[in-house]
Structure 1
Amino acid sequence: MKKKLSLVAFIYAKPEYQDEVATKLKSLIDLSRSEAGCINYALHRSSDDPNVFVMYENWHDRSDLDQHFKMPYMQEIMKILPKMLRAPLVMHYLDMLSNPRASS
């Protein structure tokens, strides 16, 4: 049985790169959502600090997430993102204990 997995990524942009980081992260949404293993892929921006972004992702299992990170567009962003960040990317992997809410 597949074990559903969530990923929460905290991205801390340098102020001078906040718009570029936002654009780059937004470009990942449709590409990631089109992957077979993706359940949900959502981008958020902090209401308190416009330089802080949070990606919230749900995947059918770890192998789907691993495959996601191998996609060319993910490889590219992982190369260019570090120079635009004021702190290292923080990722938390979570085992999903409940099913995602069904879309209406």
Structure 2
Amino acid sequence: MTVHIEGVPLAIFVIACVVGYAIYRRSQTQSAVPGTAAPGNAGEAIMVAAAVVTALMLLFTGAGAEADSRQSTPTEQPSPTDSSRQPSATSLETPAP
């Protein structure tokens, strides 16, 4: 099964993965054994990647989608048969002499 992902969301996902990997590599501490590094903090890397995805999606796709939906929504216009627009029966009567 193939899933098609648009260009902007794909780029945002790739950027978040790279940032998460960089945070993971930076969070490695020195281990007690010389020449080896302890594993990085995976939880911190995942949280930073999720924050990057959220911020970039809101920045690049969230605001644009909201603006497009407002522009494509037609404005409500009253129909010609709207009863609130027609004069009432009492106003059609002629005044008594």
TM-score w.r.t. structure 2 length?
A: 0.28
Asked which structure has the greater CA Rg, the reply is 2
Question: Per residue, is there more strand in 1 or in 2?
Answer: 1
Question: Per residue, is there more helix in 1 or in 2?
Answer: 2
Greater length-normalized contact order (CA 8 Å, ≥ 6 residues apart): 1
